[in-house]
Amino acid sequence: MPTSEQPERGLANLDLLTTPAGQAVLAELADTEMAAAAELRVAEALRRRYPAELVTAALAQHELRRRARAKFSLAGEMWFTRAGLEQASSEAVARHRARRYAGAARVVDLCCGIGGDLVALAGAATAALAVDRDPLHLRMAALNAAVHGLEPETLPADVRDAPLQPADAVFVDPARRSGGRRLRAGDSEPPLDWCTALAERVAGVAVKAAPGLDRGSVPPGWEVEFVAEGRDLKEAVLWSPALRGAPTRATLLPAGDQLLANPGGPVDCRAPGEYLLDPNPAVTRAGLVEDLARRLGAWKIDPMIAFLSADIPLRTPFGRTLRVLEHGPWREKDLAARLRAHGIGALDIRRRGLAGDVDVLRRKLRTTGRTPATLVMTRVDDRPWALICVED
Ligand SMILES: C[S@@+](CC[C@H](N)C(=O)[O-])C[C@H]1O[C@@H](n2cnc3c(N)ncnc32)[C@H](O)[C@@H]1O
């Protein structure tokens, strides 16, 4: 399937694929879990029975559906462009966000793409309008909503021209690529300040942004939520005052654990104890490491470093706990012997606050023992430090 940069060809292919013949080819492909070698044979066999352009389009769509399984439970029935799939919110993230739209009479999904968010938003609100200037994406969004039994209105338009009334809430996921290229970090189309200014027209607004966004671009009174799936930091969501719940939040999916600020006195800073906690990137990015420390009764090992420590095993969804076998000042020449003494084999090297090439170091250390471990290269009291740790 061509990318959304070639919408005419993409629409023509989509027309072909939605015919009974197109559906039959896609169904045959779906039944065949193909190894790369088998794929050629299946494609040849299909080309003997169907027009070549239909088979080519079906193979491309089949491949996108296969990749989309990582994001969507009904991927096998949905429609994608490569760019649309890459930029789409996963079902888990979209559903999480859409909860704040529950009960809205009418929600507008601006820049709906292939409809990753639309499906969740249209399911949460009574009515939904989806807007995108890319006709191929908009058509796919409607088809993908239909796969989920939903029938939102659609409007092919520049979002700048889209009527927002009557709507009680808006969601906007601006593009971070244009003309097939990634935009510069921090740039989007439409730009972030246009997106946040929507709150002057509709009270309830959420904007999906890159997790690396400049915190200075969050308007006063808005919430910024950092969302991770597992330890994979996915996005920042900016919530207007009408939808906001707290100033800052770290959310971990799929379970939906949420960490909010936990104000209090300063957190102690001292040498590592028996356990080290590596906070989830959503916690670190949200600036909630000290809040987590207060909640767990942990301390920091350096004023500037986002590792926490304690003498008891810290059980929390908000970080990964490691048991410290030993720690001390960073002395690279002693490391191989130290690791050997602990019988360390597979080695994960985690570097924070210390320069160095992790791959070169791993090659140099050549650990051959049986115990998997994590070597932490960091700073303690601003001094280069090494911690040899194992999973707790
Ligand atoms: C990041 S994708 C949206 C992904 C979507 N939320 C999802 O989960 O599938 C951005 C979309 O914005 C659209 N877009 C970018 N600028 C636009 C504009 N000015 N007006 C309308 N649509 C626009 C692009 O065509 C693209 O489909």
* For the chain, percent of residues with pLDDT exceeding 90: 86
Classify residue 231: in a domain, yes or no.
yes
- pLDDT given for residue 31 in this prediction: 77
Among the listed residues 122, 118, 126, 113, the one whose alpha carbon sits nearest the alpha carbon of residue 159: 113
Strand partners, 321: 277
Do 247 and 146 share a structural domain?
yes
Do 282 and 238 share a structural domain?
no
Classify residue 101: in a domain, yes or no.
yes
Do 100 and 34 share a structural domain?
no
pLDDT in tens, 59-96: 999 999 999 999 999 999 999 999 999 999 999 999 99
Classify residue 267: in a domain, yes or no.
no
**Cβ–Cβ < 8 Å for 318, 281:** no
Do 194 and 62 share a structural domain?
no
Question: Looking at the 3D structure of the chain, how many domains does it have?
Answer: 3
For 153, the enclosing helix (H) or strand (E) is strand 153-156
For 248, the enclosing helix (H) or strand (E) is strand 248-253
Classify residue 97: in a domain, yes or no.
yes
Query: Quick count: other Cβ atoms within 10 Å of Cβ 290?
Result: 19
pLDDT in tens, 289-307: 999 999 999 999 999 999 9
Do 290 and 158 share a structural domain?
no
Classify residue 79: in a domain, yes or no.
no
Classify residue 270: in a domain, yes or no.
no
- pLDDT given for residue 7 in this prediction: 67
Three-state DSSP class for residue 343: coil
Do 14 and 109 share a structural domain?
no
d(CA 323, CA 23): 54
Nearest residue by C-alpha to atom 22 in ligand 1: 132
Residues 6+ apart with CB under 8 A from 348: 372, 373, 374, 375
Ligand 1 pocket (Cβ < 6 Å) reads: 87-89, 111-117, 132-134, 137, 158-160, 173, 175, 189-190
Do 185 and 45 share a structural domain?
no
Over range 346-355, report the average pLDDT: 92
Do 226 and 305 share a structural domain?
no
DSSP per-residue codes, 17-59: HTSHHHHHHHHHHHH----HHHHHHHHHHHHHHS-HHHHHHHH
Do 220 and 354 share a structural domain?
no
Range of the domain at 35: 7-68
Nearest residue by C-alpha to atom 18 in ligand 1: 158
Classify residue 163: in a domain, yes or no.
yes
Q: Give 32 Cα–ligand 1 centroid separation in angstroms.
A: 33
Three-state DSSP class for residue 235: strand
Do 238 and 147 share a structural domain?
yes
